Amino acid sequence: MIQEEDFEHILAKKYMRTELMPHAFCSGCGIGIVERIILMAFEELGEEEWRRTVFVSGIGCSGWTPLYFRSDVAHTLHGRALPFATAVKLARPELNVIVIMGDGDAMAIGGNHLIHAARRNIGLTTIVVTNMVYSLTGGQVAPTTPEGAVTQTTPYGNIEPNFNLIELMKAAGATYLARWTTYHVMQAKNSVKKAIKHKGFSLVEIISQCPTFMGRYVLNKADPRDILQWFKENSVPIGVASSKSPEELKGKIIVGEFLHKPEVLEYTERIRMLKERIGR
Amino acid sequence: MPGGELRLMTGYDALVEGSIIAGCRFFAGYPITPSTEIAERMSSRLPRVGGVFIQMEDELASIMAVIGASWAGLKSMTATSGPGFSLMQEGLGFAVITETPIVVVNVMRGGPSTGLVTLPSQGDVMQARWGSHGDYSVIALAPWSSQEMFNLAIKAFNLSEIYRNPVIVLSDEVVAHIREPVRIPPVEEIEIVERKRPSVPPTDFIPYLPEPGEWVSPMPAFGDGYNVLVESVMHDEFGHRIGMGQPIAERKIKRIYYKIEKNVDKIAMHEERELGDADIAVVSYGSAARSSLKAIKDARGLGIKVGMLRLITLWPFYDKLMEELSERVRAIVVPEMNMGKIVREVERASKGRCKVISVPKVGGVLHSPDEILSAIKFAAR
């Protein structure tokens, strides 16, 4: 185990395309923390796991996340990372295929693919970076924007209820589900590790700060430290949440590991069995 | 399927068998009439040859899956019809900018929109060329028989691997549903092109920089250790996003455009019939060429010197061929099952050197040979 204070330096040198640095992200953006969470997970999983990993992403700030990783990376189209990744897994089941999406990418334009990837229980590790707003396009409403929030496209306040990604994925058939915030670095790292090792469809939602747009339109906080503090104060672990009423949980972020069903058959296993059955 | 045999096959069957012989091992699709039989036969055949078939949730997913499978090292294909082809256009552009070999079959049906669900058309000719946004080029092939569905399936895979570009097979409902004898050649007679893989170690490999004199660079697969960036955003030779890098963007766009357009001599295929002494030419493709052939025979019976130029490659359009033809004949008759699309290209390339007569046919039926004969007679006046 390497020392905490060396993480950034060592992880960057080992895993990142340092020639592309500095990042294109706004200062204070949570994606740096998300990258760190992923790289810490791999540092513990070992080099062999890293070498057989492909990253696939969509469009938006979160879609840029893996571009800095020295690995096979596909930066695809808005909403379409999952079908691309599905095919990579089908063609090369031995590879770790990690899909990184923003909340708009995953739940709005790519919502249908998300449901069906979960339903198939295909062995993809999906990391959804939720910042409750469309950021790359300048602060429009997202499927995760809280009701009432004033954004660039909800000047009179958002009238739509928002998605609960974990509940959606439970219903669709995902077999590993966790949610953390960028405040919960170690917990999120452990979940990402577990998700990568999980055979079926896994999803880790990481609620992340966007000081530039989420700060302006959703939380009314411009300092990333204030947003992280807000995450800390408004997060409720799943164990605690189960004894609370819906009123008490209103506006809170429930965090933790929600589901782990390792026994469900993974999709490429089903394909292998089908081929055996027909004599291939 | 053993070689050297003559088999009675539908266009679909022939296309699927040709694809499998060409090395296709991945098919992703979404059912849509009249292309569905391709997915159905693929679902039965691919698992038996070690490949993967998957029915995706929609066409947007299908084309993305096909691109993903190609980067994972498999020759891959999807098939669709009109509205599905419209949905695939963004993905087609993605394949173009990432220089991914894929084959897309469009069994054309009448449009616009849901249109004429099971009836033939050649209405998507321009969409095949210009459907996605931005500047790019594609290869599109138009078979007219079951035999050609077989032959061009193989050709499509070969061309897509050579140029690292999507290749579109523009079939139509008639050609796909027709049942005809197909000769399956012995394996050794079939030319199959395999993807060029990098020969240098990963540290020396530049994924989008062709060798001098080459148009495309070799293509590694995911998991080979090359750490490739498959980048939809405008990128440099390393795959790095360039932001506002105008000279790099210009270089990339021109290369992906010209790698097809400058090689038209090598890509373009056509067939000539009775053109030797002809002073009138019928230029046609796909099933409209079948009616044209009968009309030409009838016209010859009436003493009219007419011949046929059947386009097999629609895109890139072979201007030089059309220029030469327009110098030799008085008139060119262009029957197509649309309101007149390739006729625009014929007019453009013939530059007023001869008369060009469009014979449109819409509504979901083939031209009757008489309709084309009338146009030939008109041209002969």
Edge-to-edge, what's the strand order for the sheet holding A202-207?
Answer: A235-237, A253-260, A176-181, A202-207, A124-130, A96-102, A53-57, A72-75, B229-231
B373 touches B156 (CB < 8 A): no
The candidate with the shortest Cα–Cα distance to A260, out of A166, A128, A130, A144, is A166
Measured between CB atoms, does B207 come within 8 Å of chain A? Answer: no
Task: Judge whether residue B1 has pLDDT over 80.
Answer: no
The ipTM value here is 0.96
For A21, name the nearest residue in chain B, comparing CA atoms only.
B240
Which residues of chain B are within 8 Å of residue A71 when distances are taken between CB atoms?
Answer: 227
Q: What is the CA radius of gyration of chain B?
A: 21
- Nearest-angstrom CA–CA distance, B176 and B46: 20
In Å, what is the CA distance from A256 to each residue of A21, A107, A170, A230? Answer: 32, 20, 14, 17
Q: What residues have CB less than 8 Å from B322, skipping those under 6 apart? A: B283, B345, B346, B349, B350
Task: Judge whether residue B122 has pLDDT over 70.
Answer: yes
- Nearest-angstrom CA–CA distance, B122 and B82: 10
Structure tokens at B21: 């012989």
| Tens-digit pLDDT profile for residues B283-293 | 999 999 999 99
Look at residue A101 in the predicted model and tell me its pLDDT. 98
Q: Say which residue the tokens 């004949």 belong to.
A: B329
| Tens-digit pLDDT profile for residues A86-119 | 999 999 999 999 999 999 999 999 999 999 999 9
Look at residue B118 in the predicted model and tell me its pLDDT. 87
| Tens-digit pLDDT profile for residues A40-83 | 999 999 999 999 999 999 999 999 999 999 999 999 999 999 99
- Nearest-angstrom CA–CA distance, A155 and A188: 34
Task: Judge whether residue A1 has pLDDT over 60.
Answer: no
- Name the pLDDT band for B75 (thresholds 50, 70, 90): very high
| Tens-digit pLDDT profile for residues A146-158 | 999 999 999 999 9
- Nearest-angstrom CA–CA distance, B7 and B31: 26
What's the residue count for chain A?
A: 280
- Nearest-angstrom CA–CA distance, B257 and B115: 32
| Tens-digit pLDDT profile for residues B205-258 | 999 999 999 999 999 999 999 999 999 999 999 999 888 779 999 999 999 999
How far apart, in Å, do the first and last CA atoms of chain B sit? Answer: 51
How many other CB atoms sit within 10 Å of the CB of residue A97?
30
The candidate with the shortest Cα–Cα distance to A264, out of A164, A119, A154, A159, is A119
The candidate with the shortest Cα–Cα distance to B53, out of B34, B76, B32, B70, is B76
Mutation for testing the B interface, residue in A56, A80, A105 having most B CBs under 10 Å: A80
Mutation for testing the A interface, residue in B59, B75, B226, B229 having most A CBs under 10 Å: B229
Q: List the single residue in B61, B225, B230 with the smallest CB-CB distance to A73.
A: B230
With b meaning 16 or more CB within 10 Å and e meaning fewer, what string describes A118-137? bebbbbbbbbbbbbbbbbbe
Q: List the single residue in B72, B90, B91 with the smallest CB-CB distance to A92.
A: B72
Mean pLDDT, rounded, for B95-104:
98
| Tens-digit pLDDT profile for residues B300-343 | 999 999 999 999 999 999 999 999 999 999 999 999 999 999 99
Mean pLDDT, rounded, for B59-71:
98
Q: Say which residue the tokens 């090792």 belong to.
A: A197
3-class SS at B282? strand
CB–CB contact B68 A84 (8 Å)? yes
**Among the listed ranges A198-207, B97-106, B239-248, B268-277, which one has the minimum average pLDDT value?**
B239-248
CB–CB contact B68 A92 (8 Å)? no
Count Cα atoms within 13 angstroms, Cβ side, for B184.
19
Look at residue A4 in the predicted model and tell me its pLDDT. 57
Look at residue A3 in the predicted model and tell me its pLDDT. 60
Check residues A6 and B155 and name the one with the higher pLDDT.
B155
Mutation for testing the B interface, residue in A55, A90, A121, A270 having most B CBs under 10 Å: A90
Q: List the single residue in A83, A88, A275 with the smallest CB-CB distance to B71.
A: A88
3-class SS at B84? helix
Look at residue B68 in the predicted model and tell me its pLDDT. 98
Task: Judge whether residue A2 has pLDDT over 60.
Answer: no
Edge-to-edge, what's the strand order for the sheet holding B331-336?
Answer: B270-273, B306-311, B280-284, B331-336, B355-360
Q: Where are the beta strands (DSSP E) in A29-175?
A: 53-57, 72-75, 96-102, 124-130
- Name the pLDDT band for A5 (thresholds 50, 70, 90): low
Q: List the single residue in B52, B60, B223 with the smallest CB-CB distance to A80.
A: B60
Mean pLDDT, rounded, for B61-72:
98
CB–CB contact A77 B64 (8 Å)? yes
For B49, name the nearest residue in chain A, comparing CA atoms only.
A280
Q: What is the CA radius of gyration of chain A?
A: 18
- Name the pLDDT band for A175 (thresholds 50, 70, 90): very high
Look at residue A6 in the predicted model and tell me its pLDDT. 61
DSSP string, B157-217: HHHHHHHTSEEEEEEEHHHHH-EEEEEE--GGG---PPPPPP-S-GGG--TT-PPTT-SS-
A204 touches A101 (CB < 8 A): no
- Ranges of H-type helices in B286-341: 288-301, 319-328
How far apart, in Å, do the first and last CA atoms of chain A sit? Answer: 44
A136 touches A128 (CB < 8 A): no
In Å, what is the CA distance from B167 to each residue of B1, B38, B87, B106, B322? Answer: 24, 17, 17, 11, 22
CB–CB contact A88 B91 (8 Å)? no
CB–CB contact A54 B66 (8 Å)? no
Task: Judge whether residue A19 has pLDDT over 90.
Answer: no
For chain B, the average pLDDT equals 96
Measured between CB atoms, does B209 come within 8 Å of chain A? Answer: no
- Nearest-angstrom CA–CA distance, A196 and B259: 40
DSSP string, B87-103: HTHHHHHHHHHTT--EE
How many other CB atoms sit within 10 Å of the CB of residue A8?
12
B357 touches B333 (CB < 8 A): yes
- Nearest-angstrom CA–CA distance, B147 and B150: 5
The helix (H) or strand (E) run that includes residue B230 is strand B229-231
Minimal CA separation from B238 to chain A, in Å: 11
How many other CB atoms sit within 10 Å of the CB of residue A6?
9
